Amino acid sequence: MEHYRKLERMYLDANLNTEIYTTTTITIAEEEATISLTIEPKYFHALGAIHGSVYFKLLDDAAFFAVNSIVKDAFVLTTNFNINLVRPVNSGTIKAVGKVKFRSRNLYIAESTLYNEDGKEVAFGTGHFAKSKVALTEEIGYK
């Protein structure tokens, strides 16, 4: 679906992903998004594993784009996101899978799980999202 491809391009073209998270991939489907990242030492904290901010980014992004897959006219906003870190990661590729769990007129709830390359869960999270007043347009990268 063209909506999914436009969201994927918008994500990959974001400054954060072109400058810092350069090995990111994304696939969006109905109520689901999968984001992968190849681990690099630049993501490590002092103990040699990826920093919690990387866990958060991937979990939030996967849940966010799962929700935006079903909101076709506006950008959604994360209003709350909670994460749980299960185990450290310091090599390989990690994959976040986000899925919509609840939707109402003004609230969307999505969950996401982060897996290491062996398929073991390394973190999970739940977020609340709201539809913004910002239309999905080329000006914000939706093209």
Q: Report the CATH number that the domain containing residue 8 is assigned in CATH.
A: 3.10.129.10
Q: What tokens appear for 95 in the block?
A: 């994959």
The model's pLDDT over 8-23, given as tens digits with 9 standing for 90+, comes to 999 999 999 999 999 9
The model's pLDDT over 118-141, given as tens digits with 9 standing for 90+, comes to 999 999 999 999 999 999 999 999
pLDDT at 84: 98
Q: How many domains does the chain have?
A: 1
pLDDT lower than 70: segments of the chain: none
Long-range pairs, 137-142, Cβ under 8 A, ≥24: 140/10, 140/75, 141/9, 141/10, 141/13, 141/14, 142/6, 142/7, 142/9, 142/10
Q: Does the global pTM surpass 0.95? A: yes
Domain that holds residue 19: 2-140
